[in-house]
A = this chain, B = another copy of it.
Amino acid sequence: MTTKTNVQADEGNTVEGRSSSGSHAAVVLTGDRPTGALHLGHFAGSLQNRLVLQEQYPQTILIADLQALTDNAGRSARVAEHILDLAIDYLAVGIDPTRTTIAIQSQLPALAELTVLYLNLVTVSRLERNPTVKAEIELRGFARDIPAGFLCYPVSQAADITGFRGTLVPVGEDQLPMIEQTNEIVRRINRMVGHVILPECAALLSNTPRLPGTDGRKASKSLSNAIDLGATDSEIRTAVQSMYTDPAHQRASDPGKVDGNVVFAYLDAFDPDTNAVADLKNRYRDGGLGDVLVKRRLEDVLQALIAPIRRRRLELAGDLAFVRQVLKEGTAAARAVTDSVAVDVRAAFSLDAVVR
């Protein structure tokens, strides 16, 4: 399987150096909400990086089922169904459970405890000012009827990150306020105690541009413009053939635009032969290269990429006992870590002094 990474090792080192935990190696904390099948956008945006990160650092992937409830409270059964799918996707792309801990958020009661404690350290106006929350409130059309859990989810994310003593958090630019909110809480707790019990974390920004949907808009399940990791041969073919290119590029001989051309965005993301792609781009810009040829190349690349993932997904779907076992062991390991953090944070709030 082709694995192109965009994580710079020295970025990790820098971050590690900046971590207030000082003596410890970096710990990666990442995760997804189980709200639907993963697609190539996820592969380019996060899964590939995780494959590299698991070679370098202790890494936990949190399946954030509780967070998914913040705007899916009435659709909890569907959220539960997606947990196994998500685990299958992880394993199918090569996440190695001996290197990466895969854990289910709702099975880690310490995270709820940390959330409730941290809520006392953050003001409502601070949460309302959070740009990520503001943007998502607008996106979801909540207006004044935001579920309280949704307003509070930066605090829940701080619980997730600190619950694993996470120091490296792969995020997009738009999630930087979450990292800042987490570190505000970390510093407040450390000040309360008088020494460092929680490390600060740093964003691990990827330089991968966001992969567009096949129509050029943001990839989204509801727009049916994404290619799932389990897509069949014919689904891949149909998707590639329907891809948005350059509407002004009518004939092969016309000069064509590469920027905003979805086919080239996918080639940039997945074609291992970057020189060949650069060459194709030049020919396309100059005129003389038809969409059909470029799409054929992309289709070959995607078929080669997805075929082994699809095969592995089928195998895993036929061995759910194994997938469940991976989740069970990962969650148990995660519980040990998060429980130990909760003990420290509870002590910071002078809890447990009377009864143990």
Contact = CB atoms under 8 A, between A and B. Distances in A.
Interface of A: 65-66, 69-70, 73-74, 76-77, 79-80, 83-84, 104, 106-107, 109-110, 112-113, 115-117, 119-127, 144-152, 155-156, 192, 324, 327-328, 331, 346, 348-355
A144 B125 CA distance: 6
Contacts of A150: 120
Contacts of A120: 69-70, 73, 147-150
B148 A69 contact: no
Copies in the complex: 2
Given A76-B349, A350-B79, A119 B106 contact: no
- 10 closest A-B pairs by beta carbon, nearest first, are A119-B149, A120-B149, A80-B350, A76-B350, A73-B120, A112-B116, A112-B112, A80-B353, A76-B349, A106-B351
A351 B119 contact: no
Nearest to A123: B145
A328 B355 contact: yes
B144 A148 contact: no
Contacts of A324: 354-355
A89 to B, nearest CB: 14
A107 B346 CA distance: 10
Contact of A144 (B115, B123, B155): B123
Nearest to A142: B123
A335 to B, nearest CB: 11
Given A74-B192, A112-B116, A117-B69, A124 B106 contact: no
A145 B122 CA distance: 9
25 contacts: A69-B120, A70-B120, A73-B349, A76-B349, A77-B350, A79-B350, A80-B351, A80-B354, A84-B354, A104-B354, A106-B351, A107-B351, A109-B110, A112-B113, A116-B156, A120-B148, A120-B150, A122-B147, A123-B145, A124-B145, A124-B151, A125-B144, A126-B148, A148-B152, A327-B355
Nearest to A325: B355
A346 B147 CA distance: 18
A110 B65 CA distance: 17
Contacts of A146: 123-125
Given A76-B350, A83-B354, A84-B354, A147 B121 contact: yes
A119 B192 contact: no
Contacts of A66: 116-117, 351
